[in-house]
Amino acid sequence: MDLLSACHTYVDKLLDSKPAAGNGVYESSGGKMKILLLDTETTPILSMISTQSLLLKNEVYLIDRLDNSNRERMRHLRCLIFVRPTNDAIQAIVDELRDPKYGEYELYFSNVVKKSALERMAEADDYEVVKAVVEVFADYLVINKDLFALNLFAPQSCIFGDAPESWNPRPFMRSVEAITGALLTLKKKPIIRYEANSPLAKSLAIETLYNIQQDSKLFDFRRMDTPPVLLILDRKNDPVTPLLTPWTYQAMVHEYLGIKNGRVDLSAVPDVRADMKEIVLSPDGDSFYTDNMFKNFGDLGASIKDYVDKYQSRTKSNMNIDSIADMKRFVEEYPEFRKLSGNVTKHVTLVSELSRRVSQDNLLEISELEQSLACNDNHANDLKQLRIYLSQNLPDDTKIRLVALYALRYERSDQGPTALPSLLDKLSRSNVSPTRLLALKTLLRYAGANERQEDLFKTDSIFSRTQSGFKGLQGVENVYTQHVTLLERTLGALVKGRLRENFYPFIEGGGSSRDKPSDIIVFFIGGVTFEESKVIAQINAATPGLRIVIGGTAVHNSNTFLDEMEFASTKWQI
C-alpha cells in the first residue's frame, strides 16, 4: 500500500529503465533519443513521481504538450505519450498517427482506454509506428506515499453543483477515475462504505462500484483474509480540521506558503536567494523531508539543527582527502553529498520562513484559542479571548477562522452561539471583505450541525483523546495539538469493526463484511488536509498489519478551504 513505490514502477515502465539494482547508479537504456508528450493533467502527475534528471538520464531530452500543434517533425526521435484517455487526447493521438512527426511511438494512458478509442487509434496507425500501448493507472497526484489527491479547486473545478448536495459533473467523473486508478495501482478490490448523510459520497460510491464492476477483469486480484475497505467521507462532517492552525512541517508549509504539485513558491518570502524562488518539496528522494514532514514545529527545529551540523562536518571532511579510505568514502558519498548541499539550503530557508511567520502572526496564541474552541467547553472564556483577537490587527482569514470555529463549536451547546451576530458585525466593521464573510456563512450552512451526522465535538474531551484507540499516536501533551480529528475516531471504529452501519453503510451490491479490515482506502470529498494525512501516516507507522491510504478531491489549507466556500456561495445563492 505504498503509492509512491507503485507509481515508480509506472515510471520505470514508461522510461523502460530497469528498476534500480544495487546502488542503482549504473543503468543503461536504449540509446535512442526520446521526446515525452504529456497533457495538462499528466504533467503534474508525472512531476510528482519522477524528476527532470531521471528523465534526462533515460534519454528523454524533450518534453512537450500533446496538444501543441507547433511541434517540429523529428523522425529520429522515439515519442513517449503519457496522457489521460480523454476524447481530446485520443483525437490528438489519432491526428498524430496519421502524420507521424516522430519515428516511433509508445502510448501510455493513465486510466482505462475504451475499446472504441483503441480501435480508432489502431485504424489511424497506417505507418505502424506504435510500438506499445500500455495502461498505467497513475491517474492522481501522489503527494505522500499514503496520500493521493486531485487538484479540484474552485473556480475552475469546483466540486459542487448548484447545491451542496450535488456534484459538478466533471469533477465528479474525475474523482471516480482517480479512485479507480488508485485502487488499481494498489491492486485492491474493496467493499465500499460511505457517509450516510452525504449524497455526494453516495453517488461517488455508486459510480465507483459501477466502474469496478465494468472492469471486473482488471479488478481480479488475489483475495485476502478480509476485503479491503474504501471509505468515502465528506468534508462537511468535519469542517474544523481545515480551519485549525497546523503544527507539523508539511502541513505548515502548505498553510503558509502553499504546496502546489510538489512545488513551493517562495518568491514572496523576504530576502530569499534567487535559486530558491521556487523549490521542489516532495518526499520522493528527500530523506530529510520524509523523516520530518510529520514532526511538529518544535522537533523540527532540533532536526534542522542536526541536519546543518551534519552537513558542515561532511563539508569539512570532504575538504581533505588524503587517504584511500577517504577517497573511497568520497567516491561513494559524493552524489549524495551534492544532493545534500542543495537540500540543506532548501529546508533551512523553509523553516526560517515558517518561524518568521509564527512570530509575526502570533500563531502560538491564536492556535491556543483555536484548540480551546475545538476541544474544550469554555464558552465565556473563549468568547472573551475571541473578542480580544478580533480587535487586534490580524489577517482577515485568521479572524474568519476563529469566528467560524466559535460558531461551529457552540452551535449546539446550551447557550448557543449567542455572540455570533455581534461577532459577525464586528468582522464586517473591521473591513473584512464581504465575500469572505459570505464564505463564512456558507461554511456554516454547508457544514453546520444540521448537516453533520455525528457529534463532531465530543464534549467529554477528557475521554476523546483515547477515543481513537490507536496506540502511540498521542505524543507529548501539547496544548497546540489537542484536537483529535474526526477521521482518527472514524478509523479507530472501523479498524475495530465497530463503525456504525447506519452512519457508514455499505454500498448496495458491493458486498459487506464485518471483519476487521486491514487495508483501508479513504477518500475525502471536499478535500483532505495534511493534518489528516499525518494521522494516517502515524497510524500506519504505529500499527503493524494495518495499512491505510488517504485521498481527496484536493489538499486544502485554511485559505483554499475558505476560497472554496467563497466560490460556492456564488453558486448556491446563500
Looking only at residues 107 through 126 of this chain, which bind other proteins when binding is defined by CB under 8 A? Answer: 112-113, 118-119, 121-126
Looking at beta carbons only, is 13 or 263 nearer to other proteins?
A: 13
**Whole-number minimum distance, CB 488 to other proteins, in Å?**
19
Which CB sits closer to other proteins, 138 or 192? 138
- Cβ within 8 Å of residue 183, ≥6 positions away: 189, 190, 212, 219, 230, 521
- Kindly give the residue spans of alpha helices, DSSP state H, lying in 392-452: 396-410, 420-429, 434-447
**Binding mask of the shown chain, residues 80 to 109, with x at each position contacting other proteins by CB under 8 A:** --------------------x--x------
- Distance (Å, whole) CA 200 – CA 182: 19
In the complex, the smallest distance separating the C-beta of residue 515 from other proteins, rounded to whole angstroms, is: 6
Neighbours of 109 (CB within 10 A): 24
Measured between alpha carbons, how far is 513 from 229 in angstroms, rounded to an integer? 9
**Quick one: 14 or 437, whose CB is closer to other proteins?**
14
Residues 165 to 184 in contact with other proteins, rule: CB under 8 A: 184
| Beta carbon of residue 496, minimum distance to other proteins (angstroms, whole number) | 11
Burial class (CB in 10 A: 0-12, 13-18, 19+), 558: buried
What does the DSSP 8-state code read for residue 521? E
Single residue of 24, 69, 76, 431 touching other proteins by CB under 8 A? 76
Using the minimum distance from each CB to other proteins, give the nearer residue, 54 or 266: 54
Q: Which listed residue (94, 196, 206, 218) binds other proteins by CB under 8 A?
A: 218
Q: In whole angstroms, how close is the CB of 233 to other proteins at the nearest point?
A: 24
Min dist. Cβ of residue 463 to other proteins (A)? 24
- Cell numbers found for residue 121: 487509434
Give the per-residue SS3 of 23-85. Answer: CCCCCCCCCCCEEEEECCCHHHHHHHHCCHHHHHHCCEEEEEECCCCCCCCEEEEEEEEEECC
Region binding other proteins by CB under 8 A among candidate stretches 204-212, 220-228, 286-294, 554-562:
220-228
Least separation in angstroms between CB 57 and other proteins: 7
Near other proteins in 485-514, by CB under 8 A:
497, 511-514
Q: Pick from 2, 361, 451, 454: which binds other proteins (CB under 8 A)?
A: 2
Q: How far is the CB of 62 from other proteins (least distance, A)?
A: 5
Q: Which is nearer to other proteins, 223 or 429 (CB)?
A: 223
Instruction: In angstroms, give the least distance from the CB of 340 to other proteins.
Output: 14
Which 187-216 residues touch other proteins, going by CB under 8 A? 187
| Contact between residue 263 and residue 335 where contact means Cβ atoms under 8 Å apart | no
- On the 0-12 / 13-18 / 19+ scale of CB atoms within 10 A, 256 is buried
Least distance (Å) between residue 5 CB and other proteins: 5
Rounded Cα–Cα distance for residues 447 and 10 (Å): 39
CB of 511 to other proteins, least distance (A): 6
Closer residue to other proteins in complex, CB, 228/417? 228
Number of residues that bind other proteins (CB under 8 A): 82
Burial class (CB in 10 A: 0-12, 13-18, 19+), 454: middle
CA-CA-CA-CA torsion sign (275, 277, 283, 287): positive
Among 80, 171, 86, 178, CA closest to 129: 80
Q: Rounded CA gap, 267 and 94, in Å? A: 41
Among positions 518-547, residues that touch other proteins (CB under 8 A) are 544-545
When the beta carbons of 180 and 250 are compared against other proteins, the nearer one is: 180
H/E run at residue 4? helix 3-15
Q: In the set 223, 414, 421, 429, which binds other proteins (CB under 8 A)?
A: 223
The H-or-E segment that residue 519 falls in is strand 519-525
Using CB under 8 A, which residues numbered 226 to 265 contact other proteins? 227
Going by C-beta distance under 8 Å and a sequence separation of 6 or more, which residues neighbour residue 243? Answer: 370, 401, 404, 405, 558, 561
Give min distance, CB of 316 to other proteins, in A. 16
Least Å distance, CB 280 to other proteins, is: 16
Which CB atom, from 339 or from 384, has the smaller least distance to other proteins?
339
Query: Residues 229, 519: contact at Cβ < 8 Å?
Result: yes
Please identify, using beta-carbon distances, which residue of 327 and 541 lies nearer to other proteins.
Answer: 327
Residue 522 and residue 549 in contact, taking contact as beta carbons nearer than 8 Å: yes
Which positions from 125 to 164 touch other proteins by CB under 8 A, shown as an x/- string? xxxxxxxxxxxxxx--------------------------
Beta strands 278-280 and 191-194, pairing class: unpaired
Interaction between residue 516 and other proteins (CB under 8 A): yes
Q: CB-wise, 154 or 184, nearer to other proteins?
A: 184
Minimum distance from CB of 32 to other proteins (Å)? 9
547 φ/ψ angles, rounded to the nearest 5 degrees:
-130, 125
To the nearest whole angstrom, how small is the minimum distance from the Cβ of residue 137 to other proteins?
Answer: 6
Q: Please identify which residue in 20, 28, 341, 542 interacts with other proteins, judged by CB under 8 A.
A: 28
Which of 52/450 has CB closer to other proteins? Answer: 52
User: Which of 27-35, 249-257, 377-385, 522-530 is the region at the interface with other proteins (rule: CB under 8 A)?
Assistant: 27-35
Q: How far is CA 491 from CA 57, 84, 471, 538, 548, in A?
A: 42, 32, 13, 12, 9
Q: How far apart are CA 101 and CA 75, in angstroms?
A: 6
Q: Give, as ranges, the residues between 296 and 355 that touch other proteins (CB under 8 A).
A: 321-328, 330-331, 334-335, 338
Task: Find the binding residues for other proteins in span 30-49 (CB under 8 A).
Answer: 31, 33
**Minimum distance from residue 129 beta carbon to other proteins (Å):** 8
Q: How far apart are CA 529 and CA 247, in angstroms?
A: 12
Instruction: Give me the residues paired with residue 109 across strands.
Output: 83, 135
In 3D space, the residue among 523, 547, 537 whose CA is nearest the CA of residue 140 turns out to be: 523
| Separation between Cα atoms, residue 50 and residue 80, nearest integer Å | 15
